[in-house]
Amino acid sequence: MALKNEDYPISVQFDFDAGTFAPQEKSVERKVSDLAMMFHDTTAVESTVKAGDPLVYEIFYYGFKTSVSDMALGTTRIQPGKVGDEYYMTKGHFHEAYDQPEIYFCVKGEGYLLMETHEGEFQAEKWTRGTISHIPPMWAHRVVNTGSEPLVFVATYHLAAGHIYKDVEEKGFLKCLVEKDGKPTFVLNDKRK
Ligand code: PAN
Ligand code: ZN
CA of 157 to the centre of ligand 1 (A): 10
How confident is the prediction along the chain (193 residues), in pLDDT tens digits per residue? 799 999 999 999 999 999 999 999 999 999 999 999 999 999 999 999 999 999 999 999 999 999 999 999 999 999 999 999 999 999 999 999 999 999 999 999 999 999 999 999 999 999 999 999 999 999 999 999 999 999 999 999 999 999 999 999 999 999 999 999 999 999 999 888 8
C-alpha 141 chain-centroid distance: 7
Q: Which pLDDT value is given to residue 51? A: 97
CA of 13 to the centre of ligand 2 (A): 22
Q: What is the DSSP letter of 36?
A: T
Rounded to whole angstroms, the Cα distance separating 37 from 87 reads: 14
Q: Which amino acid is at 173?
A: F
Q: Which pLDDT value is given to residue 1? A: 77
Phi and psi at 154, nearest 5°, equal: -105, 135
**Residue ranges near ligand 2 (ion) with Cβ within 5 Å:** 102
Pairing of strands 82-83, 151-158: unpaired
